[in-house]
Structures are given as structure tokens and as C-alpha cells.
Amino acid sequence: MVKPHGSETLNPLYVQDEQKRAALLKEAEGLPSIVVCSAAAANAVMLGSGYFNPLTGYMNVADSVSVAEKMRTANGLFWPVPIVNMVEDASSIAGAKRIALRDPNVEGNPILAIQDLEAIEQFSDEQMKMMTDKIFRTDDPKHPGVAAFNSVGKTVISGPIQVLSFSYFEKEFPETFRTAYQIRAEMEKLGWKKVVAFQTRNPMHRAHEELCRMAYEAVNADGILIHMLLGKLKKGDIPADVRDASIRKMVELYFPPNTVLITGYGFDMLYAGPREAVLHAIFRQNTGCSHLIVGRDHAGVGDYYGPFDAQTIFREEVPAGALEIEIFEADHTAWSKKLNKVVMMRDVPDHTKEDFIMLSGTKVREMLSKGEALPPEFSRPEVAQILMKYYQSQAE
């Protein structure tokens, strides 16, 4: 199993000792507090889970700017996107040394973490523009990541944190939400050394299923980690519980026992394409995975990124030796009518578009909403059934 990013052992920031956590929660009730934005809350969950190892808390202005510009913190740690706690107004915590962070995504805004306050600073308009351009490769306000990043304020609260809650993820996804340290422990128990990670924010159709199988066989892996995003998505994306049910059904019926771990992580999607792909690689390394599948338009949205920009960044911008995890570069996969199986398009140069069974997302949604079966070459019938039920409930 590969070692974590930036340290010999994983250092999750969640306070696991129950007595200590109870004492900190009691202390937090008496501290000046602030309700953080959803992105900062998700960052706390990822820090608590060990996914953002070796970070000890939220970055300051100098680290954030350095990470955006050079993919390194001021002291040289390789990191692709700023991990920040940004707010509109920090006047309620002015002069405090220690503060409580409250959860914006749970009713009553319960305590999420305690932060030791190192600095309260402001990003300038120029810095915000530079960071937006570098992280997202666009400043288009229609880009969901750009819109989210620029809507939460420019005041940045930096300093180490102790995480006291995993927000709504544990309660809403008890079977699926797992921390990086829980995944490491599970893989150790299974005796897995070489593991392929598959990132998804969508249900998995035949092409995704076969892609996992192809990568698993190509690198001679011991197992596959299907790792789904459970946090906030853009409007129109399929809810996590529906994705979860459809993926579980596919694995149950079509993969051999004990070859796949189905897990999820608590993070809000950035839609940052190449930079987010690098972040995905870091936190999969922290779970112990040896390989990450990076496919066409990985972590992208709309037409903001080239189809393989998320692969190119690893070759052209990630310094040699910065990561231990390896990238399995995947092409678009689809069912070949000629060969009667799912193939990677780059492997069949003799095929034309007509030789593949391909459906747009719009077409899939339309068919499922009408109760029409998807072609079995495109989607497993049991998976399509779960999705059909969801889309028909939306149409009512």
C-alpha cells in the first residue's frame, strides 16, 4: 500500500477519542463562533478524514496564492488547490485566538470544528482573479466552481483545526461514507497492496464498469476502490443516494466478491478539471490506492477543458516524484457493435462513430423519464431500473 502524501503515516484531524471530543465540544460552546460556507465545511470533513493529509488546517493568503500559482505551499509542499475558510465578514471573531466553526449544512448549525486562529486576512481582487484563473482556467461566472469560489467572501481565516463532526455525511450515508483511515484499514484487512481508484459523481453504466475492469486487469491490481462524491453538486446532477443504490446493484451482480470497495467522501465538487484531478490523486494516495483512473473530461463541466487536459497536467505540470500514486490514463469507452463488447476508443482506430452505442446524458434522462429501457449494451438493466424510478418520480 502506498504511503500517504507528505508524511510517513496518515494524520487525520478528527478527534477520535470520545472523552476528548466531548470536552472540546463543551469548550466550543463557549468560544466565539462563525458559520462557515459549504466549501469550508467540506474542507473540514476532508481534513478530519485524513484525505487532505498532511495539511493541519486552513491555508493563509501566502499559501493560497502560492498553491494557485505554483501548486506548492510557501514551504514547498506539493498541493493543487487552496484549502481555505473564506467568509464575508469575520467581525464576530475579531481578536479571538480560538474559535468554533459551525456547520452551514445541518439544521441548527452545530459545531463542526475548533480552529486556532493564526490570521484573518483579505484576498485582493487581483489575487481572487489570479486564483480563479489558475484553479479553474476560466473566470466565467457561469462555471459552477467559479461561481461558488467567488460568492463566499474574500476574508480568509487561517490556522490549524480539530474536527469534531463529519457533518451530515455519516448520518445520511452510513453504509458509504468512509474516511481515508477507514479505507486504509479495510484494504489492509483484505490484504490489498495494489488498488485502482475510480472517481465518480454519476451512476455507473457499462462503459464505467468495464473501465474499472480494464484498469484492474492492466495493472494486475488486488482490488478496486469505487469512491463517490457525496457532497454538493450542480443542479441537475443525480443525488448521491440514487447513485449509491445503482452502483451497489452493479457491483453486487457483476463483480466477483471481495474485489470492490464501494465508498464515498464528503466534499463539494469543484468542477476544476485538471487541478481537481490532481487533488483527486492526492486524496486517493492518502487512502492507500496505488492507481487512479483518469478518463476523458475528468472533473470537468461544459466545454471549459479539453477532453484529456486532466491527464496532460500529470505529465506536464506535476513534478516527478511529487506523488506516489500512478495515473491510469483512460480514453472514452463505449460498446462496439463490431466487436460486441465495451472498448476504449483509442484501441479501435478502424471504428467510426456509427460503430459505437453512445447516448447523450440528455437522451438517457429523456428515455428513463418516459419509462423506456436503455440498451443493455449501454446500461445494466438492474441499474437502469433504479435510475428510471428516480427520473419518473421527478417527472410526477
CB atoms inside a 10 Å sphere around CB 259 = 16
* C-alpha angle 212-310-262 in degrees, rounded to nearest 5: 30
Residue found under cell 464575508: 88
Residue 344 β-bridge partners? 333
Q: Look at the chain and report how many structural domains it folds into.
A: 2
Other residues' Cβ atoms within 10 Å of the Cβ of residue 55: 22
CATH number of the CATH domain containing 143: 3.10.400.10
Structural contact between residues 68 and 130, judged by C-beta atoms closer than 8 angstroms: yes
Cα 372 from Cα 56, distance rounded (Å): 50
- Reported as type and span, the H/E element at residue 364 is helix 361-369
Same domain, 121 and 255: no
Torsion, Cα 232 237 239 240, to 10 degrees, reads -70
Q: Could you tell me if 179 and 163 lie in one domain?
A: no
Contacts of 320 (CB under 8 A, 6+ apart): none
Which of 154, 170, 186 is where one domain is finished?
A: 170
Do 164 and 183 lie in a common domain?
A: no
DSSP class of residue 326 equals E
The parent domain of residue 70 ranges over 18-170
Check if 340 is active-site: no
The DSSP bridge partners found for residue 58 are 159
Instruction: Tell me the C-alpha to C-alpha distance, in Å, between residue 139 and each of 128, 136, 150, 209, 322.
Output: 10, 7, 10, 34, 28
Same domain? 267 vs 124:
no
In the set 21, 72, 202, 248, the catalytic residue is: 202
Q: Are residues 179 and 81 in the same domain?
A: no
SS3 state at 265: strand
Domain end, chosen from 118, 149, 170, is at 170
**Which residue among the candidates 21, 98, 201, 365 is catalytic per the annotation?**
201
Write out the chain's pLDDT in tens, 396 residues.
Answer: 999 999 999 999 999 999 999 999 999 999 999 999 999 999 999 999 999 999 999 999 999 999 999 999 999 999 999 999 999 999 999 999 999 999 999 999 999 999 999 999 999 999 999 999 999 999 999 999 999 999 999 999 999 999 999 999 999 999 999 999 999 999 999 999 999 999 998 889 999 999 999 999 999 999 999 999 998 877 777 888 899 999 999 999 999 999 999 999 999 999 999 999 999 999 999 999 999 999 999 999 999 999 999 999 999 999 999 999 999 999 999 999 999 999 999 999 999 999 999 888 788 888 988 999 999 999 999 999 999 999 998 876
Q: Is 248 a catalytic residue?
A: no
The set of residues, in sequence order, having a beta carbon less than 8 Å from that of 12 and lying 6+ positions away, is: 47, 48, 49, 50, 53, 163, 179, 180, 181
